[in-house]
Amino acid sequence: MSKFKFDPDKVRELNTPSNGSRAKAAARALNLHEIAIGDRKEEETFHLSEHCQATDLVANLGHLCDREGWDFETVLRSAEAHWRHER
């Protein structure tokens, strides 16, 4: 099986963000999340790491779902379906 190749210009439907725009928004969310939880000051340099930051953000979204009474597993399944559709 060939390895998936990310296409930043891919748009799934007309008038929707490209996958590059979606990835940029996610990186910004990770950056702001790091600042919000106190792991980094805003003026410090942000470096993406493959696992830790994204895992922490997803886990904290689970806490938000708990607080709001949302079903986190349903949210995860729906998010994965969206990701697969847009890929």
Grouping H, G, I as helix, E, B as strand and the rest as coil, residue 59 is helix
Supply angle C-alpha 46, 48, 49, rounded to 5.
Answer: 130
1 pLDDT higher than 80: no
For residues 43-54, one letter each, b for 16 or more C-beta atoms within 10 angstroms of the residue's C-beta and e for the rest, the string is eeeeeeeeeebb
As a whole-number percent, the residues of the chain with pLDDT over 90 amount to: 56
Q: What is the pTM of this model?
A: 0.77
Identify the band that residue 46 occupies on the pLDDT scale cut at 50, 70 and 90.
confident
Identify the band that residue 2 occupies on the pLDDT scale cut at 50, 70 and 90.
low
pLDDT at residue number 77: 98
Contact 53, 34 (CB under 8 A): yes
CA atoms within 13 A on the CB side of 26: 17
